[in-house]
């Protein structure tokens, strides 16, 4: 397949490496700035991605698949690639944080061509063109013809793929994890900051707010979701850095709205109070 990856940061770089490992694809890396090379270091191998780099839509022709891995706030920037890349009707896989994958692009691409993808991958961008994957990657994709076709692109790569009939629950479960990652960004400390008793209690309360809103949105989240989130963080390397913290350290714009703001916004819609997430949004916006 001819596949374009729009946005080659940590996740975009990891996805490109997975497709390189799968083999047989022609890859186009769509970036703002020229990318001389893409090297992905994983626990098992160093992968040098063989791909063409395009910095303007007119440099890229039609493809079979478009994978969007930009920051959530850059939906408009990603969408400007769609007319050239999707000239022959290529579907768009949206691999981003949050629970609004379809909403971000619904006015640019028809619903039948949009595929939300939930990814969990401990990955960090160490520099432009260099990405470090620190553990196993998993993706959750809707169990549909489009989802099966997307999963097939990664045949032969190490990523674990789960086809699910319930993307709402998958997205909100991931959001429960991401929402607590804001504590790392506020403290400016890696994952181990969540391991202490005091911070764990705060993390659990943040998850409780997120889960309550998620249930109102139709997600099936049981009362043990908070403990599963804590267990998730305790399995990670103590010095691992989530993207929110990485962006704050680098002075970049943070995905606060997609990770915590959406909980506040949808909580208001359902009349569910979310004071901790509201405070997180205010503090991260302030810094």
How far is 197 from 234, CA to CA, in rounded Å?
12
Backbone angles phi, psi at 8, to 5 degrees: -115, 65
| Candidate list 71, 174, 189, 266, residue with the active-site label | 174
Q: How far apart are CA 81 and CA 88, in angstroms?
A: 13
Going by C-beta distance under 8 Å and a sequence separation of 6 or more, which residues neighbour residue 20?
27, 47, 49, 50, 51
Q: Is the separation of the CB atoms in 66 and 85 below 8 Å?
A: yes
266 has catalytic annotation:
no
Q: CA 240 to CA 252: how far, in whole Å?
A: 18
CA 60-8-284 angle, to 5 degrees, is 130
Tokens of 236: 């990670």
Separation of alpha carbons 190 and 233, rounded Å: 10
Provide the β-strand partners of residue 94.
68, 116
Number of helical (H) and strand (E) elements in the chain, helices listed first:
12, 12
Phi then psi for residue 3, to 5 deg, are: -125, 130
Report which of 66, 26, 23, 21 is spatially closest to residue 159, judged by C-alpha positions: 21
Residues that are catalytic: 174
């Amino acid at each position: 397949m001819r596949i374009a990856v729009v946005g080659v940061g940590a996740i975009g770089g990891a996805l490109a490496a997975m497709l390189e490992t799968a083999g047989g694809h022609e890859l186009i890396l769509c970036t703002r700035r020229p990318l001389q090379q893409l090297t992905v270091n994983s626990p098992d191998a160093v992968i040098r991605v063989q791909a063409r780099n395009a910095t303007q839509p007119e440099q890229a022709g039609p493809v079979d698949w478009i994978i969007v891995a930009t920051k959530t706030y850059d939906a408009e920037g990603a969408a400007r690639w769609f007319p050239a890349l999707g000239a022959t009707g290529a579907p768009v896989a949206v691999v981003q944080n949050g629970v609004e994958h379809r909403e971000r692009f619904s006015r640019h691409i028809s619903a039948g061509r949009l595929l939300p993808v939930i990814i969990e991958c401990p990955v960090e961008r160490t520099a432009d063109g260099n990405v470090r994957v620190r553990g196993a990657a998993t993706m959750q994709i809707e169990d549909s013809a489009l989802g099966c076709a997307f999963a097939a692109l990664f045949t032969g790569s190490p990523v674990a793929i789960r086809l699910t009939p319930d993307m709402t629950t998958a997205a909100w479960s991931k959001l429960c994890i991401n929402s607590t990652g804001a504590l790392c960004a506020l403290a400016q400390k890696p994952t181990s900051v969540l391991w202490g008793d005091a911070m764990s209690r705060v993390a659990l309360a943040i998850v409780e707010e997120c889960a309550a809103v998620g249930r109102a949105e139709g997600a099936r989240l049981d009362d043990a979701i908070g403990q599963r989130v804590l267990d998730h963080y305790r399995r990670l390397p103590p010095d691992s850095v989530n993207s929110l913290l990485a962006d704050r350290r680098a002075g970049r714009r943070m995905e606060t709205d997609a990770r915590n703001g959406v909980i506040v916004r949808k909580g208001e819609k359902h009349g569910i109070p979310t004071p901790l997430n509201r405070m997180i949004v205010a503090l991260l916006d302030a810094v």
